[in-house]
């Protein structure tokens, strides 16, 4: 069973950048789509972007498109999310999730992911 652990969160000024990591244990990631989500205080979970097992990104959210970049390194069993041009409204707990799709699969619906990591906090403030 895959287990995911996020890291890389922290405090950043508006306009700054941050790189988050999603590391896997228990299995390789070759046959899994990985999605990134966030949840701000008092709000529901928001789906952001997915990277498929065939290494294609799929953006669920307009908030992520153009500012957030996702890529994977299967050899390191890690998926990365680069956050650019950060705004105070990007403050949230960011988490990753997996969905088994087989090798060469696409991204699933945001509601079809199987399990999430515990998340890493990103705070955008001056």
Mean pLDDT by 10 residues, the chain (126 residues): 95 98 93 97 96 96 95 96 97 98 95 96 97
What is the structure's pLDDT at 117?
A: 96
Ramachandran angles phi, psi of 37, nearest 5°: -135, 165
Please report where in the chains the tokens 């799709």 appear, as a residue: 101
pLDDT for residue 1: 82
Cα within 13 Å of Cα(124), Cβ side: 18
Burial of 36 from C-beta contacts in 10 A (0-12 / 13-18 / 19+): buried
Which pLDDT score is estimated for 14?
98
Report which of 101, 96, 62, 58 is spatially closest to residue 80, judged by C-alpha positions. 96
């Amino acid at each position: 069973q895959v287990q995911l652990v996020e890291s890389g969160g922290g405090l950043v000024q508006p306009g700054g950048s941050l790189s988050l990591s999603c590391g896997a244990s228990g299995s390789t990631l070759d046959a899994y789509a990985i999605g990134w989500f966030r949840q701000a205080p008092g709000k529901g979970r928001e789906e952001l972007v997915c990277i498929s097992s065939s290494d294609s990104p799929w953006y669920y959210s307009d908030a992520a498109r153009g500012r957030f970049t996702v890529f994977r390194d299967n050899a390191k069993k890690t998926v990365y999310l680069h956050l650019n041009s950060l705004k105070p409204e990007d403050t949230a707990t960011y988490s990753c999730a997996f969905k088994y799709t087989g090798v060469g699969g696409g991204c699933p619906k945001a509601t079809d992911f199987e399990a999430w990591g515990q998340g890493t906090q990103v705070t955008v403030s001056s």
